[in-house]
Amino acid sequence: MRAIYHFLRRDNVAAIIFVLPFVIGLVAFLLVPMAMSFYYSLTRFNILRPPEFIGLDNYRRMLQDVRLRDSMQATFYFVFVSVPLRLAFALGIAMLLFKSTKMMGIYRAMYYLPSLLGGSVAVAILWRRMFFVTGTFNSILDVFGLNRNFPWLGDVRTAIWTLILLAVWQFGSAMLIFLAGLKQIPDSYYEAASIDGAGKSRQFFRITLPLITPTIFFNLIMQTIGGFLTFNSAFIITEGGPLGSTNFFALYMFNHTFAWSNAGYAAALAWFMLLLLAILASILFITKRFWVYEGGFS
Amino acid sequence: MKKALRFTVVIAILVALALVVVACRNDEPEPVATPEPTPTPEAQAEATPEPTEEPGDEPVDQVELTFAWWGGDFRAEQTHYVLDMFIEQSDQVSYIHRSVASFADYWPMLAIQAAAGTLPDVMQQDVSRLLEYQASNLFTNMAPFIADGRINLTDIPQSVVDAGTIGGEVIALPIGMNVAAMLYNATLLEELGLEAPRNMTLDQFIELAETIYEMSGVRTNWAHNDPANQMEVHLRAQGVNFFEGNGLGATADHFVEFFATIARGINDGWHIRPEHIAGREGAEQNSMWYPPGDENANLRTWNTPVWSNMLNGYLHDSPEDMEIGMTTYPSNNPIAGNFGRASMFLSMTSHTNHPDAAASLISFWMNSLEAHEHMLGERGVIVNPVIAAAVYDQLDEGPRRQTEFVGWVNNGNSSPFNPTRPEGAAEVIAELNDVRDQVTHGNMTPEAAAEHFYQVASGILW
Provide the ipTM: 0.77
> Average pLDDT by consecutive 10-residue portion of chain B (462 residues)?
63 65 48 42 45 48 92 88 94 93 89 91 91 90 94 88 89 90 95 94 96 95 88 92 90 94 95 88 85 88 92 89 94 90 89 94 93 85 88 85 89 81 86 92 94 92 76
A165-174: average pLDDT: 89
Sign of torsion, CA B391 B397 B399 B400?
Answer: positive
Among candidates B321, B273, B276, which has minimal Cα distance to A134?
B276
Whether B13 sits inside 8 A of A49 (CB atoms) is no
How would DSSP label each residue in chain A? Answer: -HHHHHHHHSHHHHHHHHHHHHHHHHIIIIIHHHHHHHHHTTEE--SSS--EE-TTHHHHHHHH-HHHHHHHHHHHHHHHHHHHHHHHHHHHHHHHT-S--TTHHHHHHHHHHHHHHHTSHHHHHHHHHHHSTTSHHHHHHHHTT------TTTSTTTHHHHHHHHHHH--HHHHHHHHHHHHHS-HHHHHHHHHTT--HHHHIIIIIHHHTHHHHHHHHHHHHHHHHT--HHIIIIITT-STTTT--HHHHHHIIIIISS-HHHHHHHHHHHHHHHHHHHHHHHHHHHHH-------
- This prediction's pTM: 0.80
CATH architecture under which domain A66-291 falls: Orthogonal Bundle (1.10)
Q: Residue A239 above 60 pLDDT?
A: yes
Average pLDDT across chain A, whole number = 89
Q: Are B252 and B454 in contact (CB under 8 A)?
A: yes
Q: Which residues on chain A place their C-beta less than 8 Å from a C-beta of chain B?
A: 5, 8-9, 14, 17-18, 20-21, 24, 46-49, 66-67, 125, 128-129, 131-134, 149, 151, 153-156, 159, 237-238, 241-244, 255-262
The neighbour count for residue B369, using CB atoms within 10 Å, is 12
Per CB-CB distance under 8 Å, the chain B contacts of A129 are 281
Q: pLDDT tens across A271-296, in order?
A: 999 999 999 999 999 998 888 887 77
Selecting from A125, A242, A255 the residue whose C-beta is nearest the C-beta of B275 gives: A242
Whether A128 sits inside 8 A of B3 (CB atoms) is no
Selecting from A20, A151, A261 the residue whose C-beta is nearest the C-beta of B132 gives: A261
Shortest distance between the Cα of B409 and any Cα of chain A, in A, equals: 32
In this prediction, residue B2 carries a pLDDT of 60
